[in-house]
Amino acid sequence: MSKEDKIEIEGTVVKTLPWGVFEVKLPDNFGWGWIIIRAYISWKMRKNFITLIEWDSVLVELTPYDLSKWRIVFRKK
């Protein structure tokens, strides 16, 4: 696995938390319904003043090295 390999999943923002952290609902492929994770906003989105509100559709990525750090990289319209 190279360093550039990233896992990207589409989800929905459920709740906004302080300091750029959001709770995101991801679809579950095991038949349990949904998984709710905490993700932080990426530096490019902060730099360009892209705001997120509840029920926005977002693209979330994580690296295969640290499965506990989720990052929001794109806001879909």
Do the domain assignments include residue 32? yes
Do the domain assignments include residue 1? no
Amino acid at residue number 45: M
pLDDT one-digit tens code per residue, 13-50: 999 999 999 999 998 877 778 889 999 999 999 999 99
pLDDT one-digit tens code per residue, 5-15: 888 999 999 99
Do the domain assignments include residue 15? yes
Residues 6+ apart with CB under 8 A from 20: 40, 41, 46
Do the domain assignments include residue 59? yes
Q: Please report which confidence band the pLDDT of residue 2 belongs to, taking 50, 70 and 90 as the band edges.
A: low
- Report the alpha-carbon distance of residue 16 to residue 23 in Å, rounded: 6
**Interval 59-63 mean pLDDT:** 91
CB 62 within 8 A of CB 69: yes
Q: Please report which confidence band the pLDDT of residue 1 belongs to, taking 50, 70 and 90 as the band edges.
A: low
Whole-number average pLDDT of the chain: 89
pTM score, whole prediction: 0.85
- Report the alpha-carbon distance of residue 23 to residue 5 in Å, rounded: 24
Segment holding 43, helix H or strand E: helix 43-47
